[in-house]
Amino acid sequence: MGKRKRKQFQPAHMATTNGVEAGGGDTFVTPQGQEMPAALEKYWRQRYNFFWRFDEGIAIDEEGWYSVTPEAIAEDTAKRIAQLHNQQQHNQQQLHSQRRPPKKKQQWVPDFGRICIVEAFCGVGGNAIKFAEWCEHVIAIDIDPGRLEMARHNAEIYGVADRIEFILGDFYQLAPMLKADVVFMSPPWGGPEYLGAEVFDLNKMPFHSAQEWLDRARMVSKNIVYFMPKNCDPVQLADLYPGAPCEIELNYTNGFLKAVTAYYNDVALSDEGGCNSTDRRVYRRPSHCKSIAN
């Protein structure tokens, strides 16, 4: 297959603001002369945490700025999910070797990849891009056409757009029609205001509760990964999937807690060998979900 030319995605507002319209309120001006809403300055300062290739023309709109998963966290999640394939292969090999001994010593070759993953809430592509780097096939869904197009554009910058199937639609409606090895979900939490509550109630998410989203995701796969607010109750999070092994990971960037990720079923049991972020701490529950370490 020949090399694909990068599609030029340049909506009028992007030329000066990288995807954000400054609007009428308080603004700040970046050193490059881009005017952005003042409320986004905090996120703009973290731009290289979100996309280390930011300067190559990454497009992010307002919701994208406050929702995108930091790249180091997205990469760890993707590597970890990709290991599910190794785990499945290893299980198969063990089964096989019980039936008949191998003729010669088999070499263990890590083969990250043969995983089909649904990224239910693709946003501007923070997670989808990393999944495409580590998994064979990514189905990236978003209900917002502009953001989905930004995700495609950003994936082109990272050279992985060919491995992502972008679908414009409502995950809630699409779920019954999909099958995959894993579903990843980072739904809207209701904007930056989610931090206003001491404990974020997972039943009070906009559009659908965390339980409703998870029940939909179970139609696609039993293996689910949930990216959730750092101030949610981990027990409530684990209890969304009764009977499933669950592991909850605290996600840090530069020493600051940013979010938590829950892994259910086979992904909860996978190795940690591929994850190397120094700022990641894992709390694992050995038996089926009940309580979480402090």
Report the C-alpha gap between 31 and 35 in whole angstroms: 10
At residue 280, the 3 state secondary structure works out as strand
Helical axes 71-99 vs 126-134, angle rounded to 10°: 30
Distance CA 130, CA 50 (A): 12
**Are the beta carbons of 112 and 83 closer than 8 angstroms?**
yes
Q: Spell out the residues 6+ positions from residue 25 whose beta carbon is closer than 8 angstroms to its own.
A: 37, 38
Give yes or no for residue 67 binding ligand SAH (CB under 6 A): yes
Closest residue to ligand SAH, judged by C-beta, is: 126
Does 216 bind ligand SAH (CB under 6 A)? Our answer is: no
Out of ligand SAH, ligand MGP, none, which partner does residue 207 contact, by CB within 5 to 8 A per kind?
ligand SAH
Proportion of the chain in helix, strand, coil states, percent, rounded to 5? 40, 20, 45
Residue 104 CB, nearest approach to ligand MGP (Å): 47
Residue 141 contact partner, candidates ligand MGP, ligand SAH, none, CB within 5 to 8 A by sort of partner: ligand SAH
From residue 53 to residue 92, the character string flagging contacts with ligand MGP as x (rule: CB under 6 A) and all else as - is -------------xxxxx----------------------
| Window 179-198: contact mask with ligand MGP (x via CB under 6 A) | -------xxxx-xx-xx---
- Residue tagged 């992904």 (tokens): 267
Binding mask of the shown chain, residues 157 to 196, with x at each position contacting ligand SAH by CB under 6 A: -------------xxx-------------xxx--------
Q: Tell me if 254 sits within 8 A of 230, measured CB to CB.
A: no
* Nearest-approach distance from CB 223 to ligand SAH, in angstroms: 17
Residues 234-273 that bind ligand MGP (CB under 6 A): 256, 258-259
Amino acid of residue 195: L
Q: Please identify, using beta-carbon distances, which residue of 150 and 289 lies nearer to ligand SAH.
A: 150
In angstroms, rounded to a whole number, what is the distance separating the alpha carbons of residues 164 and 174? Answer: 17
Q: What is the binding site for ligand MGP (CB under 6 A)?
A: 66-70, 186-189, 191-192, 194-195, 227, 256, 258-259
